[in-house]
Amino acid sequence: MSSRNFIYNSNPARVVFGVGTIAKLEDEAEALGINRALVLTTSAQQEQGREIVERLGGRAAGLCSNAQMHTPVTVTEDTMRVFAECGADGIVSCGGGSTIGLGKAIAYRNDAPQIVIPTSYAGSEMTPILGQTEGGVKKTLSSPKVLPETVLYDVNYTLSLPHSMTLASGMNAVAHAVEALYSESANPVLCMLAEEAVSSMVSALGKLSEAGQTIAGEELLEARTDALYGAWLCGTCLGLGGVALHHKLCHVLGGSFDLPHAETHTVVLPHALAYNAPAIAEPMDRLKRAMGTDDPAGRLYDIAKQGGAPVSLRELGMPAEGIASAVRSTLDNPYFNPRELEAEGLTQLLESAWHGNRPS
């Protein structure tokens, strides 16, 4: 093997993974010195929050179910008041990216220890990244203060994840690993993680997509276990690696046209990968191995379409006349990308994604 120079950073985190791991919650809280935990959820997941409060018993300070998408600063400030009023000294976040984001926003302000129980495949729990919205503007920061101390992955908490959310959330996760393979900070260790992440997640999504709503029992548990394992690795890739054209396009489209986050990733990923394919020979070889196909971009598109997930920007509400402005915004402040960004190529990419064509 030829010598190579690279830099590898790792983020400290304790991961407890498996089926029924929620039983370890009180022990994990004690290990972190949390005596009064404020439990966070969205309004839709209040029932899960109540169950966690009951499980924590005397270690529960209360339940706050006001987490919202994009982590509005006003919501964080309200929750900070609740945190102080109930005498909390730690956080247990149960949910997806919105709830995890709120917990991280609190920790950023008061350095409270966090335990996260993910219920989707968002991956935010494995990153030191926090996105907050104030005055309609979303800003992102990175700080070790927001990285959760303990992540408790319990497959049981993902079994009831709706089919449409499963595919969108899973594809969003895959995007983190795919771009880690050719990001500016790619390195051999990160690439091994990314390949394993894509292999596990795409295999699971393929099974869940093909079976639709009919999958159940041990087959469902196995597929959900593989998906959650893949999501953990994908989130790790996001926390350790970097992003490129795909994430830039999703940030532009989401911010400019208020498109749903995970669904936008689902639509754009196959087309962004196809655009970069000519310039990323080694990453493409890894993706071919991981997905068991000579056409990784097409495979991602097929999984989404077969599972009933959106495959066009038109379905998400993007106006066709917005393509030109999206291209300009992408070129005005580009992210690192292995292939040169050209207006004509980006226009073709977005037109194909808008119509929902299978990428070639």
Give the chain's mean pLDDT. 94
Choice among 296-300, 312-316, 330-334 with the minimum mean pLDDT: 330-334
Q: How far apart are CA 244 and CA 130, in angstroms?
A: 18
Taking residues 155-169, what's their average pLDDT? 92
Domain limits, the chain:
14-158, 163-355
pLDDT value of residue 246? 97
CA nearest to 12, candidates 126, 175, 158, 154? 126
Look at residue 93 and give its three-state secondary structure.
Answer: strand
User: Does the pTM of the predicted model rise above 0.75?
Assistant: yes
pLDDT value of residue 127? 92
High-pLDDT (> 70) share of the chain, % = 98
| pLDDT band with cut points at 50, 70 and 90 for residue 122 | confident
pLDDT value of residue 226? 97
In sequence order, what DSSP letters do the residues of 1-22 get, joined into one string?
-------------EEEEESSGG
**E strand or H helix at 357:** none
**Per-residue pLDDT at 101 exceeds 60:** yes
High-pLDDT (> 90) share of the chain, % = 82
For 49, 163, 173, 225, the CA distances from 103, given in Å and listed in that order, are 14, 26, 20, 25
Contacts of 340 (CB under 8 A, 6+ apart): none
Taking residues 288-316, what's their average pLDDT? 96
**Per-residue pLDDT at 3 exceeds 70:** no
**Per-residue pLDDT at 338 exceeds 50:** yes
| pLDDT band with cut points at 50, 70 and 90 for residue 217 | confident
In this structure, what token pair is assigned to residue 172? 């969003």
Look at residue 138 and give its three-state secondary structure.
Answer: strand
pLDDT value of residue 121? 94
CB 100 within 8 A of CB 116: yes
Q: How far apart are CA 241 and CA 63, in angstroms?
A: 34
pLDDT value of residue 213? 63
Q: Which residues of 239-268 are buried (b: 16+ CB within 10 A; e: fewer)?
A: bbbbbbbbbbbbbbbbeebebebbbbbbbb
Cβ neighbours around 5 below 10 Å, total:
5
Q: 163-355 domain in CATH 3.40.50.10800?
A: no
**Per-residue pLDDT at 20 exceeds 80:** yes
Taking residues 234-245, what's their average pLDDT? 92
| pLDDT band with cut points at 50, 70 and 90 for residue 1 | very low
> pLDDT tens digit string along 245-285?
999 999 899 888 989 889 999 999 999 999 999 999 999 99
> pLDDT tens digit string along 129-144?
898 988 876 788 999 9
pLDDT value of residue 11? 79
The residue ranking higher by pLDDT, 263 or 69, is 263
Class of domain 14-158: alpha beta
**Per-residue pLDDT at 166 exceeds 50:** yes
pLDDT value of residue 264? 95
Choice among 139-143, 165-169, 214-218 with the minimum mean pLDDT: 214-218
